[in-house]
Amino acid sequence: MKKEIENRADVFFLVDTFYTKIRADELLGPIFNEAIDDWPEHLERLTDFWETNLFFVNKFKGNPVRKHQEVDAKNKQTINALHFGVWLNYWMETLETHFTGERATLAKNRARNMGTHLFLKIFEARST
């Protein structure tokens, strides 16, 4: 049954469920599993990120653009639009399966915008 995203526990469920799919994916899994040493810590950090974005609280500290640029460099600048499309499809699927309401819609919109922004910043970093 779908529910509203109401609290941190819901955000953690979303993030954990989503990244379980990402980690198992043939295209994305190797990239993420190579880049992340401590998955429990990373899931908490990503929960902070999405809780900040969905509840407008100030929990997340970090620089996602720089981190994604570093991961792209380690992958010999091979991350492309397909990677972001697959990532976004899993995000949307996870939201559609488990959640409804304003925050679910906000999570979809923020992910679309974030994916576009990160992809452009990765591309820009390649030319510097």
Q: For all residues of the chain together, what is the average pLDDT?
A: 97
- pLDDT value, residue 127: 82
Residue 31 has pLDDT above 90, yes or no: yes
d(CA 17, CA 97): 11
Residue 117's alpha-carbon distances to 9, 111, 114, 124, in angstroms, are 27, 10, 5, 11
Confidence of residue 111 (pLDDT cuts 50, 70, 90): very high
Residue 110 backbone dihedrals phi, psi, to 5 degrees: -65, -40
pLDDT digits (tens, 9 = 90+) for 40-87: 999 999 999 999 999 999 999 999 999 999 999 999 999 999 999 999
Average pLDDT over residues 83-103: 98
Residue 6 has pLDDT above 90, yes or no: yes
The residue with tokens 């407008």 is 56
Please state which CATH number belongs to domain 8-126. Answer: 1.10.490.10
